[in-house]
A and B are shown apart, each in its own frame.
Chain A
Amino acid sequence: MHNKSIKELASGLRSGEFSSVELTQAFLARIKQHQSLNCFISVTEDLALQAAKLADHRIATGNADLLTGIPIAQKDIFCTQGIKTTCGSKMLDNFIAPYNATVVEKLNDVGAVMLGKLNMDEFAMGSSNETSYYGVVRNPWQTDSVPGGSSGGSAAAIAARLSVCATGTDTGGSIRQPAALCGITGLKPTYGRVSRYGMIAYASSLDQGGPMARSAEDTAILMQAMAGFDPKDSSSVDMPVPDYQAGLGVDLKGLTIGLPKEFFGDGLSGNVAAVIEKAIQEYQKMGAVVKEVSMPNLKLAIPAYYVIAPAECSANLSRFDGVRFGYRCENPQDLTDLYTRSRGEAFGKEVKRRILMGTYALSAGYYDAYYIKAQKIRRLISEDFKKTLAEVDVIMGPVTPSTAFGIGEKMGNPIEMYLSDIYTIAINLAGLPAMSIPAGFAEGKPVGLQVIGNYFTEDRLLNIAHQYQQVTDWHQRSPKGFE
């Protein structure tokens, strides 16, 4: 059952081949069996079975959506009412959210069955899942490698067939990079397409929730349920959501693909480059036209991001002060002691590093040199994309410079870790949608192809991924031991 697509599962549920309770039990058993991957922070077994029972009833009464009764999992950054929501941090180890994130609410409404909450880098700050208070997640393709991050739990759980699909969030590559390293499909939507309400903020102007699944088709189905306007989020865009599934049948004749030369430079490892080139040839076979383009300001994405994201996070994380919720130090002597110790004891090193960086970049005397400068660079990068996307339909390139690296390999060197997001970060600065599509393997580890489109062209991106998945089977491969 665990290898079936959402459509196959939905038809099985309707034909009575299996019930949602049985399906849910099967996935819960797999989660238990593969606990050592450490994908989940919380498994909500009882609630899942209750939800499955309700879903079976809904299906029986003909009042069901495609996702009704389908086991899914939520990244632990999304608030779930009455359920521990940790954001991968000791700070929220005792935090039972009193409300649902809009995304959670929407998925509950369609009757999806939540299996539990997925592991992630602490407050979504990290590219390897190693900053989680709950320990590193193992990459099912090679368990001494990282799954990527910050949505590492989501990607690994899908690759290992512990959940049909999952939610993720992407601030600088946190959906696409783990999707690439775990060989699954992930979509980072246009900023504003998916509500941020109830999604614990890292960097508000960059954060965007999105779907992760094995295939583009499953991703489209999950996206359909997640997307849409939310009056509770000021940055949510009030635009109709297209029918993503309906958009999956379009052929790619005449599609123009831009290949930025900056994506294929020195930093890219040869075996990843070879996989990407092959994938692009596949598109050419389908009738797409390739064009080399240049986006000179892309190289500045990392420095600009590491000013803007930490600046926003330094303020976003001020609310974690030990007063109204979350971790509080023992016996605070005075207010300052309460703040510094609660925060000092409960935040991990990467979170602290970014809070410090952001505080510095905003402080008197440095604001113009760092923060304003980075905002200007952000506009230049965004203009580069605008210009390029006026010339071509989509941009393609690698998601990551190399395949999954070893656990512990980059923890000692934060800057090197930051550089692993070099191809994904610029997209968040511009607010564009982008996907990671399984495109093959290098030395037994998955490689992801990145497809970047214009604003609100998720339907087109999903179709481009789907067409590729009609002629390839990378997305259907299972890691050994998880078949």
Chain B
Amino acid sequence: METSQEWETVIGLEIHTQLATKSKIFSGAATAYGAEPNTQACAVDLGLPGVLPVLNEQAVTMAVKFGLAIEAEIAPYSVFARKNYFYPDLPKGYQISQFELPIVGNGHLDIDVDGTTKRIGITRAHLEEDAGKSLHENFHGMSGIDLNRAGTPLLEIVSEPEMRSAKEAVAYMRKIHELVRYLGICDGNMQEGSFRCDANVSVRPLGQQQFGTRAEIKNINSFKFVEKAINHEVERQIELIENGGKVVQETRLYDSVKDETRSMRSKEEANDYRYFPDPDLLPVFISEEFKSQIKAQLPELPNARKQRFREQYQLDDENAGILTASRQLADYFEFVVNESACEAKLCANWITGDLVAALNKADLDITESPVNTQRLAGLLLRINDNTISGKIAKQVFELMWQSSSTADEIIAEKGLKQITDSGAIETIIDKIIADNPDQVEQYLSGKDKVFAFFVGQVMKEMQGKANPAEVNKMLKAKLK
């Protein structure tokens, strides 16, 4: 895009995180995903006449946890309001949300993009109830409404319009995703809609102070789509303006199949939500005591932990980042380090390398890893004390993945113990030199590369069980 240098993109995100409570925000119905339609919608969720909401304590605790984690202000007094509009997935004709007095205000989060750290302001985070779902399969030309999701607690996290590229927006979204899972307040499952976002996107000539007119892209549920949707929207807006048009403030939907955004006129009309305090609910008071109780329960947060991993374990930025991206992975790493007493770097390389690759391939989470921390520590211990080489270790790891045996059991059973007996190695080296006179000639005439050929032949002959350092040393001596 030759024009891209003239324009600056401005992005703010509204992220909806479903809080991982057992029951709904205002009722005792279950929040589990995937139940038969309307079997988890109780009278309160259905908005039947006469029923009343009662606030879930856990939802409040989780919101406060999040607020403390982003160093935000926790409102000592917050209020639930009704947001009025008619839609079939909204049973009461209003959504219970927070408007003027949200529970969390004014925090921030640091993101890393291309090696630099940027602080993104978080305007507010408020509690609200999720809506149900409209299913568009054809029921004689009608839509079906499933209200199982109605009343699931949401924390809506609203950023300042401080991101300047789709890449920054994705980095911010990932960071929030990482944080809510660290805090254990959201399962982060994007396919199931537990974590989704609306992006407010506008463009302005570079250097201009005033914001351009923004469009809101609704309900994006993957990191990939956020990037694509924003980039497309930016392109659309620039093209529109450059062709003499004007961006209108509207809600747009990202179509991942057609890879484009389009206007959602149906949600546009009569946007007068008539917010007012919900008279069925009283103000929520958060005491200093409640706050400090929650603060004491907070886990070490990702940024702090990453920093500690770099200092305490001497890890590089990349490994520290990968390991601390999930609280469970970071815990796994620290267990392995403690149990194996091996060098942290070795542990980190194995976890971020072979283990993560195997997990990804099997589509498993670290908590579901077939190889637990103890077994992995047992393997690393054998690399460390030279019982096996790194290469053999990969073989052992694969066998461990498929069984419940320990590294030691596999090494013994398969006879994979490294040969350090120099007599045995010497015999093989002598045989290889005798069998390959041409290569010996080449090596002696200065072709150093051929050396690798000899190492390979020896290791092959010894089924990889020779200590590579020993082989190198002896070969060098013999070939002089």
B residues 67-85 touching A (CB-CB < 8 Å): 82, 84
Q: Is A482 an interface residue (CB 8 A)?
A: no
A235, A323, A326, A363: the one contacting B280 at CB < 8 Å is A235
Instruction: Determine if B91 and A204 form an interchain contact, defined as CB atoms under 8 angstroms apart.
Output: no
Complex: chain A residue closest to B83, CB-CB: A315
- Residue interface bits A246-280, CB-to-B below 8 A is 1, else 0: 00000000000000000000000000000000000
Instruction: Determine if A315 and B93 form an interchain contact, defined as CB atoms under 8 angstroms apart.
Output: yes
- Residue interface bits B90-132, CB-to-A below 8 A is 1, else 0: 0111100000000000000000000000000000000000000
B50, B55, B274: the one contacting A79 at CB < 8 Å is B50
Instruction: Determine if B276 and A315 form an interchain contact, defined as CB atoms under 8 angstroms apart.
Output: yes
B residues 257-275 touching A (CB-CB < 8 Å): 272, 274-275
Instruction: Determine if B145 and A367 form an interchain contact, defined as CB atoms under 8 angstroms apart.
Output: no
B193: chain A residues within 8 A (beta carbon): none
Q: How near does chain A come to B37, taking the closest CB pair, in angstroms?
A: 13
Segment with Cβ contacts to A, from B40-48, B286-294, B327-335, B449-457: B40-48
Complex: chain A residue closest to B273, CB-CB: A364
Of B43, B86, B275, B276, most buried by chain A (CB within 10 Å of CB) is B276
B86: chain A residues within 8 A (beta carbon): 318, 321, 335, 339
A320 CA to B46 CA, complexed, in Å: 11
A229 CA to B127 CA, complexed, in Å: 26
Size range of the interface on B? 20 to 34
B48, B275, B279: the one contacting A203 at CB < 8 Å is B279
Complex: chain B residue closest to A99, CB-CB: B43
Instruction: Determine if B50 and A231 form an interchain contact, defined as CB atoms under 8 angstroms apart.
Output: no
Q: Is B282 an interface residue (CB 8 A)?
A: yes
Q: Is B54 an interface residue (CB 8 A)?
A: yes
A85: chain B residues within 8 A (beta carbon): 49
Q: Is B390 an interface residue (CB 8 A)?
A: no
Q: How near does chain B come to A138, taking the closest CB pair, in angstroms?
A: 27
- Residue interface bits A75-108, CB-to-B below 8 A is 1, else 0: 0001100000101000010010111010000000
A201 CA to B47 CA, complexed, in Å: 12
Complex: chain B residue closest to A336, CB-CB: B86
B280: chain A residues within 8 A (beta carbon): 201, 204, 234-235
A98, A311, A323: the one contacting B43 at CB < 8 Å is A98
A197: chain B residues within 8 A (beta carbon): 50-52
Q: How many chain A residues have a CB neighbour from B under 8 Å?
A: 44
A318 CA to B92 CA, complexed, in Å: 6
Q: Is B468 an interface residue (CB 8 A)?
A: no
A residues 311-362 touching B (CB-CB < 8 Å): 311-312, 314-315, 318-321, 323-326, 335, 339, 359, 362
B46, B55, B274: the one contacting A363 at CB < 8 Å is B274
Instruction: Determine if A324 and B84 form an interchain contact, defined as CB atoms under 8 angstroms apart.
Output: no
Instruction: Determine if A200 and B88 form an interchain contact, defined as CB atoms under 8 angstroms apart.
Output: no
Q: How near does chain B come to A183, taking the closest CB pair, in angstroms?
A: 30
Instruction: Determine if A362 and B50 form an interchain contact, defined as CB atoms under 8 angstroms apart.
Output: no
Instruction: Determine if A363 and B49 form an interchain contact, defined as CB atoms under 8 angstroms apart.
Output: no
A198, A315, A371: the one contacting B50 at CB < 8 Å is A198
Q: Is the interface of A mostly helix, strand, loop or mixed?
A: loop
A323: chain B residues within 8 A (beta carbon): 88, 91, 145
Q: How near does chain A come to B344, taking the closest CB pair, in angstroms?
A: 52
Complex: chain B residue closest to A203, CB-CB: B279
Complex: chain A residue closest to B93, CB-CB: A318
Q: Is B53 an interface residue (CB 8 A)?
A: yes
A101 CA to B82 CA, complexed, in Å: 23
B91: chain A residues within 8 A (beta carbon): 319, 323-324
A367: chain B residues within 8 A (beta carbon): 274, 276
Q: How near does chain B come to A455, taking the closest CB pair, in angstroms?
A: 16
Q: How near does chain A come to B208, taking the closest CB pair, in angstroms?
A: 29
Q: Is A233 an interface residue (CB 8 A)?
A: yes
Instruction: Determine if B276 and A319 form an interchain contact, defined as CB atoms under 8 angstroms apart.
Output: no
A326: chain B residues within 8 A (beta carbon): 49
Complex: chain A residue closest to B142, CB-CB: A332
B475: chain A residues within 8 A (beta carbon): none
A282 CA to B50 CA, complexed, in Å: 42
Q: How near does chain B come to A258, taking the closest CB pair, in angstroms?
A: 29
Complex: chain A residue closest to B266, CB-CB: A335
Instruction: Determine if A311 and B272 form an interchain contact, defined as CB atoms under 8 angstroms apart.
Output: no
A235, A318, A371: the one contacting B94 at CB < 8 Å is A318
Complex: chain A residue closest to B82, CB-CB: A315
Q: Is A42 an interface residue (CB 8 A)?
A: no
Q: Is B30 an interface residue (CB 8 A)?
A: no
- Residue interface bits B385-396, CB-to-A below 8 A is 1, else 0: 000000000000
Interface pairs A-B: 9 shortest CB-CB: A318-B93, A204-B279, A205-B279, A362-B274, A319-B47, A198-B50, A200-B49, A200-B50, A319-B92
Return 10 A-B CB contacts under 8 Å, by A number: A98-B48, A99-B48, A201-B49, A204-B279, A315-B82, A315-B84, A315-B276, A324-B48, A363-B274, A367-B274
Q: Which residues of B contact A (CB under 8 A)?
A: 43, 46-55, 82, 84, 86, 88, 91-94, 145, 272, 274-276, 279-282
| Other A-B pairs beyond A197-B52, A319-B93, 13, CB < 8 Å | A99-B43, A196-B52, A197-B50, A201-B280, A233-B52, A234-B281, A315-B82, A318-B86, A319-B47, A323-B88, A339-B86, A362-B84, A364-B272
